[in-house]
Amino acid sequence: SGITNLVGKLLLKGTINRSAEEISREIEFMGGSINTEVFNDFAEVWLIIPKRSFRQGLNIFADVLKAPVFPQDEIEKERKVVLAQLKSQKDDIFTYTYNVFIDELYNTFPYHRPVLGYEETVGVITREDMVTYHRDFYAPNNMILVIMGNLSFKEVLSAIDEEFGGILPVARTCGKTQSLTVQGETFTITKESPFRQAYLMLGYLAPEVSSPDYPSMKLINMLLGGRASSKIYVQLREKMGLAYELGSFYPSRKYQSQFVVYIGLSPDNIAKAKENIIKEILKLSQCIPEQDLLDAKSSLIGKFILDHQTLRKQAWYLGWFEVMGKGWQYDEKYPKEITNLTPDAIKRSISTYLKENNWVCVEVIPATKQN
């Protein structure tokens, strides 16, 4: 756990053909930028470059992907950075609670592991581990390449063939992951902590991006806790005054995701908050006011459109939907599916995924408050 993150960080720290300084200097000289990011389901390398420097930029981009050398001194530097990040997470009550939550919700399923890994695993990853990981997973049959810009199709194909044509596929790639089984049970975990406030997370297993129910769950999140005018926010924070902070989220995942409501509060209000969170979900399953539905749709589609303003994000979404199993064409279909959602479709998704006997709850309380 954590090797994907470390490998991603080390890609820009030098290749067989270029040092880290040369990569940075050449890209900067062309007026571009290059970086890597790691997510739960995939790793990304992105490049922004002026059209005039497309071929030179793609050559560096391919070099970074094909021929990283993983210098030992750079590995140790990045290891220290990650270990410091992991240590700092212990001081963040949201991250602390969420790590407990996903560990309980997913059990042995890979999503229970944080992207950064654990201190004990990050500390023992070797250069040989990273070389092997790169060989096995940074392969053409495990890669999606998206190029956007004012370029001819012929020019792009020629450049891709020149830079990537010689890479051989590998036998080992990310295969199918077994689906989780909903147990029809509820779990509550109470943990002492050094924090002065309490924190509550209550969540459910939810559908993956490729599911037909993905759009309705995104809209449910917007209705329940995804914005300041949502049901849970108004009821628990504004009307009842139970929360320091609260909200909900439904992260997009290739495999089974989660729908989570979180709330920072006084330890004395935990039971009341949990009761009212469940109550608001039940109320939404029974009645969805028309104006609330229209407002939530408008907000969700608006955010999606705003997130497409840059060429980089437009390319990102095409690749992302392809990775997630929805197909790159879904980028145009998604807003239409949100628009066409009916109250009945939303109620069906609530009854399917947000069941009364199907949640995990984590209660983090100050150590002095536990009996």
- List the chain pLDDT tens, one digit each, 371 residues: 899 999 999 999 999 999 999 999 999 999 999 999 999 999 999 999 999 999 999 999 999 999 999 999 999 999 999 999 999 999 999 999 999 999 999 988 999 999 999 999 999 999 999 999 999 999 999 999 999 999 999 999 999 999 999 888 887 655 555 566 555 678 899 999 999 999 999 999 999 999 999 999 999 999 999 988 899 999 999 999 999 999 999 999 999 999 999 999 999 999 999 999 999 999 999 999 999 999 999 999 999 999 999 999 999 999 999 999 999 999 999 999 999 999 999 999 999 999 988 899 999 999 974 44
**What residue has token string 């030992």?**
72
Residue 177 has a pLDDT of 58
Q: What is the pTM of this model?
A: 0.92
Cα first-last separation, the chain = 35
Which residues of the chain does CATH 3.30.830.10 include?
3-164, 187-369
- Contact between residue 56 and residue 44 where contact means Cβ atoms under 8 Å apart: no
Taking the C-alpha atoms of 186, 273, 364 and 207 in order, what is their torsion angle to the nearest 10 degrees? 50
Are 129 and 10 spatial neighbours (Cβ–Cβ below 8 Å)? Answer: no
Which pLDDT belongs to residue 370? 46
DSSP state letters, 58-87? HHHHHHHHH-B---HHHHHHHHHHHHHHHH
Q: Is 183 exposed, middle or buried (0-12, 13-18, 19+ CB in 10 A)?
A: exposed
* pLDDT (0 to 100) of residue 357: 84
Write out the CATH class of domain 3-164: alpha beta
Fold of 187-369: Cytochrome Bc1 Complex; Chain A, domain 1 (3.30.830)
